[in-house]
Amino acid sequence: MKEHAIHIRGARVHNLKNIDLDIPYGRLVVFSGPSGSGKSSLAFDTIFAEAQRQYLETLSPYLRQFFPQLTPPEVDLIEGLPPAIAISQWAGASHPRSTVGTISEVYDFLRLLYAKIGILHCPNCRVPLGTQSPENIVAELMRLPEGTRAMLLAPFVRQKKGQHKETFREIQKLGFPRARVDGGLVDVEELPSLDPNKVHTIEAVVDRIIIRPGLASRLIESIHLALKLGQGVMIVCHEQRDPQGETIWVDRLFSTTCHCPQCAASYPELEPRTFSFNSPYGACPRCEGLGTVEQFDPELVLDWNRGLGNGAVKLWSDPRESLKHHEKKLARLMKEGNFDWETPLAKIAKDYQVQLLYGQKTSRSRSASTDRFHENSSAAEGSNAGRSMFLGLLHLLEVEYQFLAEGRKRRAWSAYRKPVTCPDCAGARLGPVGRSVLVAGRAIHQL
Ligand SMILES: [Zn+2]
Ligand SMILES: [Zn+2]
């Protein structure tokens, strides 16, 4: 047990009377008591003072001369002190945009660290992008088990229609005998004939390797070449064992630019402000960096014992009027869910309660969110299909609220709202780019 706590023996700073105590790590510990009882003497003048003194002692004598000499606090023993941060009482510190990190300026250093060495993963497809130097790619590959076979590929054509005869000639001229066409290896000499009406993907096979010690120097040359031909993008196709122990070939995409080769999205270069949720540049656009958004609370705004026609939505004095543009869709939902204007909300089947509150989802719009790759096409179809779907009471209230002018009615309505975790950033406060930069596998908000 001894190592999991800060041990203090015989503290006598100011009016402390020879205090012994152990403070466990990883817990929120509060000292309470009337003023003058020694809370600050213990926290600031004993624990923090000693932590600061011990920290300064680790610096070289040369550096130490720039700091004032600190006298050790009056205490027999303090053990197990981690590096400490002290934040003193300060009016205004409880602003919702402040965290321990921002007040203590630790966060400023983290932002710099993430901007310099973080690796952006495409927010859409999780492909690592950006600051991946050829050296990083070599290091990644040398981590594969010895004996693994791999191909280094330079992408030439991605999902484009045509026969691409010119591309094959170019690859041939560059001295590469093989290419991968739509996933299969071909001999470039024979100028493969492709269906001009279909989309094709063509990559030149720049090198074929077997991972073994001492390979790094040859690897870096080939990687430089592949990246040059692929304009900053390359693919490594290597062997891997699947969970059944079978050998499969997997592709890994590497990019040295902030341009995603998979979904073609481009991202700005990383800067410290990318990670600042207090700047419009870095903040989650949905919640503007607060981590929460206000929404109507179904428990407050609905009376579950009433039907839609007689006051289930407390804010609508004439519900049929409020819903008149949605009558047909609502009628269809009522028929399907076997309820009417009089049915108390609580009596409606659970499934249909959800659809009534949050809106009906089409199978198409659902697939749009899971299949990011085809996002554009299916999202368009989804919105078409969405026209005949009921949008949901909470959505309709939200739209009405957004159009309310500042004033008494808006203030009255806002009493029925409460903050919920932002659905876009899940409380991370940062925009999609800031959330997708990893250092040692973790994003800045996951620290
Ligand atoms: Zn992408
Ligand atoms: Zn958000």
Task: Read off the CATH number of the domain in which 195 is found.
Answer: 3.30.190.20
How many angstroms separate the alpha carbon of residue 59 from the centre of ligand 1?
Answer: 45
Could you tell me if residue 136 is inside a domain? yes
How many angstroms separate the alpha carbon of residue 164 from the centre of ligand 2?
Answer: 45
Same domain, 183 and 313: no
> Does the structure show a pLDDT above 90 at 348?
yes
Could you tell me if residue 354 is inside a domain? yes
pLDDT classification of 224: cutoffs 50, 70, 90: very high
> Does the structure show a pLDDT above 60 at 93?
no
Using CB atoms within 10 Å of the CB of residue 144, give its burial: 0 to 12 exposed, 13 to 18 middle, 19+ buried: middle
Where is pLDDT greater, at 61 or 296?
A: 296
AA identity, residue 344: P
Percentage of residues of the chain with pLDDT beyond 70:
89
**Cα–Cα distance, 272 to 148 (Å, whole number):** 39
Where is pLDDT greater, at 381 or 258?
A: 258
How many angstroms separate the alpha carbon of residue 420 from the centre of ligand 1?
Answer: 29
> Does the structure show a pLDDT above 90 at 209?
yes
Question: What is the structure's pLDDT at 176?
Answer: 93
pLDDT classification of 3: cutoffs 50, 70, 90: low
Percentage of residues of the chain with pLDDT beyond 90:
31
List, as one string, the DSSP characters of 38-87. Answer: SHHIIIIIIIIHHHHHHHHHTS-HHHHTTSPPPPPPS-SEEE-PPP----
DSSP for residue 4:
G
> Does the structure show a pLDDT above 50 at 366?
no
Maximum separation of any 2 CA atoms in the chain, in Å = 92
Of 112, 19, 119, nearest to 439 (Cα)?
A: 119
How many angstroms separate the alpha carbon of residue 387 from the centre of ligand 2?
Answer: 27
pLDDT (average), residues 61-71: 74
CATH number at residue 359: 1.10.8
Same domain, 9 and 75: yes
How many angstroms separate the alpha carbon of residue 263 from the centre of ligand 2?
Answer: 23
pLDDT classification of 221: cutoffs 50, 70, 90: very high
**Cα–Cα distance, 299 to 112 (Å, whole number):** 43
Question: What is the structure's pLDDT at 81?
Answer: 82
Could you tell me if residue 441 is inside a domain? no
Residue 334: helix, strand or coil by DSSP?
Answer: helix
Could you tell me if residue 442 is inside a domain? no
Where is pLDDT greater, at 73 or 340?
A: 340
State the total domains in the chain.
3
Strands across the sheet with 149-161, in order?
A: 184-187, 178-181, 199-210, 149-161, 233-241, 247-255
How many angstroms separate the alpha carbon of residue 158 from the centre of ligand 1?
Answer: 14
What lies within 8 Å, CB to CB, of 402 at 6+ separation is none
> Does the structure show a pLDDT above 50 at 1?
no
Q: Which residues of 70-99 are buried (b: 16+ CB within 10 A; e: fewer)?
A: eeebebeebeebeeeeeeeeeeeeeeeeee
What lies within 8 Å, CB to CB, of 167 at 6+ separation is 156, 157, 202
How many angstroms separate the alpha carbon of residue 100 from the centre of ligand 2?
Answer: 19
Strands 199-210, 149-161: pairing is: antiparallel
Rg (CA), the chain: 31
AA identity, residue 229: L
> For the segment 22-59, what is each residue's pLDDT rounded down to a tens digit?
888 888 888 888 877 888 888 888 888 888 888 777 77
Same domain, 134 and 182: yes
Could you tell me if residue 168 is inside a domain? yes
Q: Which domain holds residue 394?
A: 292-421
How many angstroms separate the alpha carbon of residue 424 from the centre of ligand 2?
Answer: 5
Same domain, 211 and 350: no
Beta carbons of 140 and 281 less than 8 angstroms apart:
no
Residue whose pair of structure tokens reads 């300026």 in the numeric block: 105
**Cα–Cα distance, 74 to 41 (Å, whole number):** 11
290 alpha carbon, closest ligand? 2
CATH number at residue 56: 3.40.50.300
Same domain, 265 and 299: no
pLDDT (average), residues 170-191: 90
Question: What is the structure's pLDDT at 222?
Answer: 93
Could you tell me if residue 437 is inside a domain? no
432 alpha carbon, closest ligand? 2
285 alpha carbon, closest ligand? 2
**Cα–Cα distance, 249 to 357 (Å, whole number):** 46
How many angstroms separate the alpha carbon of residue 125 from the centre of ligand 1?
Answer: 4
Question: What is the structure's pLDDT at 66?
Answer: 73
**Cα–Cα distance, 18 to 10 (Å, whole number):** 4
AA identity, residue 168: F
Same domain, 202 and 240: yes
Could you tell me if residue 195 is inside a domain? yes
Same domain, 261 and 316: no
284 alpha carbon, closest ligand? 2
What lies within 8 Å, CB to CB, of 66 at 6+ separation is none
Give me the residues paired with residue 121 across strands.
Answer: 128
Residue 434: helix, strand or coil by DSSP?
Answer: helix
- What's the whole-number average pLDDT of the chain? 83
pLDDT classification of 170: cutoffs 50, 70, 90: very high
Same domain, 52 and 151: no
Same domain, 232 and 364: no
Same domain, 201 and 246: yes
373 alpha carbon, closest ligand? 1
Same domain, 171 and 64: no
Same domain, 128 and 265: yes
Residue whose pair of structure tokens reads 């406060």 in the numeric block: 429
Could you tell me if residue 407 is inside a domain? yes
> Does the structure show a pLDDT above 50 at 212?
yes
Beta carbons of 188 and 177 less than 8 angstroms apart:
yes
427 alpha carbon, closest ligand? 2
